[in-house]
Amino acid sequence: MHHFIDVLLPIPLQKAFTYHITKAESEFLEIGMRVAVPFRKSKIYTGLVYKIHNNPPTAYDAKTIHQILDDQPVITKSQLQHWEWIAGYYMCSLGEVMRAAMPNAFILESETIISKNEKVEVKDTELKDEEFLIYEALQYQSSLKINDVVSILDKKRVLPVINSLVEKGVINLQEELYEKYQPKLVRYVKLHENHKSEAKLQELLEELSRAPKQREVVLTLFSMEASERRPIKVSELTDRSGASSSIIKSLIDKTILEEYHLKTDRVQFDGEGDADTKQLSEAQLEALDSINSIFEEKPVALLHGVTSSGKTEIYVQLIQKQLELGKQVLYLLPEIALTTQLVQRLQDYFGDKVAVFHSRYSGNERVEVWHNMLKNSEKAQVVIGARSSLLLPFNDLGLIIVDEEHEQSYKQFDPAPRYHARDAAIVLANFHKAKTLLGSATPSLESYYNATQGKYGLVELNIRYNNVLMPDIELVDLADKYKRKRMKGHFSDRMIEEMAETLDEGFQIILFQNRRGFSPIIECTTCGNSPQCPNCDVSLTYHQYRNQLRCHYCGYNSAMLQNCQACGNPTLDTKGFGTEQIEEEVKVLFPDKKVARMDLDTTRGKYGFEKIINNFEQRDIDILVGTQMLTKGLDFRHVKLVGIMNADNLLNFPDFRAHERSYQLMAQVSGRAGRTDLRGKVLIQTYNPHHNILQQVSTNSYKEMFAEQMNDRYNFKYPPIYRLIKITFKHKDYNRVNLAADWYAKSLRQIFKANVLGPEFPPVSRIRNLYNKNILIKISPNQSLGKTKEAILKIDNSFNAVKDFRAVRVVLNVDNY
């Protein structure tokens, strides 16, 4: 028997905390169960049992646990191993990984209040003894706390009892509490037993001959029951029969119909799951064969297939095969909200087997997916999700697909764990002896480099499905157009001509501008001053729609100014432009066309994206203006023209990846033009039409871009040749940040010499009143990453021992892509 457990808490502490357990608890507890434990000033936290052992802690007296929350582990062994790898590799605590992984509803942070559900009548006989004790207590008291339940039942493990009462609908748990999860109940109806036989039904129909609407409902239900042989929802019956819910209610009251409830998953699917998969083209089949043969030898394959080459249909075949083998598949996407189209497509093929793990879903929906996975339920065989779905409890994973693998949003920036989902996916797959398929029309230099080195297998798919031609890309020289006065606002004559032609032919247009708002900078034409954010070192952006100035870093906003704050003159002018201004100009150029905008400002809320995407698909929108949100794997059939309003601010971005990213972004946006059977047209407006990247985009020369960029990366010691660790210091006091960063850099230089860059302030050096300063460590390919991190952690420990520095936040970012 064991006396102690180590408990993982969802906080950035390096170590798990040790608690004392009783004999009974020791017999019951397993690694991966949740426990509620006291921690710091008697706050109660939910933690996970991480180790069970006999070693009392040396530095403190072990407290006892508060209660046990599960009767079975809620995480799996391989899941925990994978979390450990993430914590180690990305230099954060296991508790931080746990925090990122577990739905909020799993983590208790305050005390639950239990109250009686007044709407439900309970027969004593339906309740087990312990359940009855609680039910009875609630007859005398309006509410109970978990602690009260612990004393009523005289045991610590009360959650199963409480859960069961919740499931029976006897009690309610209140907000912010315990398990926020409540199964959702759906109303069903059936014909009452009394009328089931044919003779009885006949009788009933005659009775109802003077109530034709009710008669219609009964007939409809009868035929639905006969033909579908499954429970019929009240909502289906109202839809099908056209009857109002009050008619159904009166039929229930007359005991002609009987109502009942079933627990359902909140996440409902429309797809039937019986669509036949498409017959692959010859090129697709070849690619599929290559992937399969690579998987016989290597764990990772990279599918480099141009936009619209039909990569998704290849994924579908691979998924199908895994399902036949009884294995799970994880389908990773950079941004799940943008992919309703894909989810729909997969649900058409695989129906209920598809589970979506969505950051915008409520806690309940996420808990449902978690439980389904833990049970290895039929419902969680194909999991679609953004990066955090990597952290779910997989049982028997066969394949991970990382779609759009080049997307930078796969890397988490804040908070820790700052993991890269593509890389962490490959590790996860290895734990399961599964395969990973990376897919992209514009692979990251990292992955393509790994493929050229033979580390990954490489499959190239160079033609579009149905042999649709790649779009015709034309560069428009803005300097020339301005000089010859061929511009209207931000639109060149070429752009306007092509737009008019496209609209005349009845096709749609996408316009890309990578900045939102109306104009990024307001500047006084008298004194040159621009209004700044009071909390960040950055100019405010003008949003015309709300007549506001806004900060895109901290959300600060104020009404638009009439006069310059520096010189007092009413000469504030806008400089640069954003999506909002483009939208305005389009409305003036094409007043009778429908224009919409898709950027962070128009897509808030759970269905923000879906609405715009649907309207565009339904052709209720002729011209869609947007930011990079537009680039992510959308498949529209009627877009003939794509306009990139200004390529230069992409190319000039101060980052060693700016050119790679510009290529990816422009190639991806261009890829939205022309699908199925029509050739698309792309216009790129720029002051630098001879820029190599623009030449490469317009000739679709990925490999040239790769070779040239790799050359730079070699020369300047950047990834994928060298690895990077970025260390950021944050504090509200400018001097303290400087001192701290200098101290740290000096210590690092003693070991890593010239491979330490900085400290340097980033372009925006103050955000939310905190100064930021960065140090970059470049790690050569033959240097041990493990040893490097050890050395950094040692320095970090000494740093934290300096009193003046303790308040400075240090952020470690490994593989800062």
Instruction: Give yes or no for residue 219 binding ligand ADP (CB under 6 A).
Output: no
Site for ligand ADP in 270-289 (CB under 6 A): 278-281, 284
Residue 766 beta carbon to Zn ion: minimum distance, rounded to whole angstroms: 8
With CB under 5 to 8 Å by kind, the binding choice for 556 among Zn ion, ligand ADP, none is Zn ion
Nearest to 305 by CA among 503, 139, 443: 443
Instruction: Give yes or no for residue 616 binding ligand ADP (CB under 6 A).
Output: no
Give Dmax (Cα) for the chain.
96
Q: Compute the distance between CA of residue 389 and CA of residue 337 in angstroms, rounded to an integer.
A: 14
Complex with ligand ADP: residue 284 or 603, whichever CB lies closer? 284
Site for Zn ion in 112-171 (CB under 5 A): none
Instruction: Give yes or no for residue 533 binding Zn ion (CB under 5 A).
Output: yes
Instruction: Give yes or no for residue 431 binding Zn ion (CB under 5 A).
Output: no
Residue 554 beta carbon to Zn ion: minimum distance, rounded to whole angstroms: 3
With CB under 5 to 8 Å by kind, the binding choice for 322 among Zn ion, ligand ADP, none is none
With CB under 5 to 8 Å by kind, the binding choice for 310 among Zn ion, ligand ADP, none is ligand ADP
Residue 270 beta carbon to ligand ADP: minimum distance, rounded to whole angstroms: 18
DSSP 419-447: -BHHHHHHHHHHHTT-EEEEEESS--HHH
The stretch among 252-260, 455-463, 544-552, 600-608 that binds Zn ion (CB under 5 A) is 544-552
With CB under 5 to 8 Å by kind, the binding choice for 284 among Zn ion, ligand ADP, none is ligand ADP
Site pattern 704..733 for Zn ion (x: CB under 5 A):
------------------------------
Burial class of residue 274 (count of CB atoms within 10 Å of its CB; 0-12, 13-18, 19+): exposed
Instruction: Give yes or no for residue 553 binding Zn ion (CB under 5 A).
Output: yes
Complex with ligand ADP: residue 281 or 541, whichever CB lies closer? 281
Task: Please give the sequence-ordered ranges of beta strands (E in DSSP) within 418-571, or none if there are none.
Answer: 435-440, 457-461, 472-477, 487-488, 491-492, 508-512, 521-524, 541-543, 548-550, 557-559
Number of neighbouring beta carbons within 10 Å of residue 572 = 21
Instruction: Give yes or no for residue 594 binding ligand ADP (CB under 6 A).
Output: no
Phi, psi of 35 (to 5 degrees): -130, 150
Which residues are within 8 A (CB) of 624 and not within 5 positions of it... i.e. 6 or more apart?
508, 509, 510, 511, 595, 596, 597, 598, 612, 616, 630
Residue 668 beta carbon to ligand ADP: minimum distance, rounded to whole angstroms: 10
Q: What is the CA radius of gyration of the chain?
A: 30
Binding residue for ligand ADP, selected from 99, 311, 515, 731, defined by CB under 6 A: 311
Instruction: Give yes or no for residue 313 binding ligand ADP (CB under 6 A).
Output: yes
Q: Compute the distance between CA of residue 383 and CA of residue 385 in angstroms, rounded to an integer.
A: 6
Instruction: Give yes or no for residue 770 binding Zn ion (CB under 5 A).
Output: no
Tell me which H or E stretch contains 381. none
With CB under 5 to 8 Å by kind, the binding choice for 305 among Zn ion, ligand ADP, none is ligand ADP
Site pattern 625..644 for ligand ADP (x: CB under 6 A):
----------x---------
Instruction: Give yes or no for residue 813 binding ligand ADP (CB under 6 A).
Output: no
Site for ligand ADP in 649-708 (CB under 6 A): 675
Binding residue for Zn ion, selected from 333, 536, 564, 665, defined by CB under 5 A: 536
Q: Does residue 194 sit in helix, strand or coil?
A: helix
Binding residue for Zn ion, selected from 554, 757, 764, 785, defined by CB under 5 A: 554
Question: Apex CA 173: angle with CA 172 and CA 177, to 5°?
Answer: 170
* Residue 124, CA distances (Å) to 128, 170, 240 in order: 8, 11, 38
Q: Compute the distance between CA of residue 96 and CA of residue 13 in angstroms, rounded to an integer.
A: 8
Nearest to 384 by CA among 319, 290, 472, 456: 319
Task: Indicate the DSSP class of residue 10.
Answer: S
The stretch among 550-558, 575-583, 635-643, 771-779 that binds Zn ion (CB under 5 A) is 550-558
Cis peptide before 720 (omega within 30 of 0): yes
Residue 287 beta carbon to ligand ADP: minimum distance, rounded to whole angstroms: 10
Complex with ligand ADP: residue 419 or 448, whichever CB lies closer? 448
Complex with ligand ADP: residue 114 or 287, whichever CB lies closer? 287
Residues that bind Zn ion (CB under 5 A): 533, 535-536, 551, 553-554, 556
Residues that bind ligand ADP (CB under 6 A): 278-281, 284, 305, 307-313, 465, 635, 675
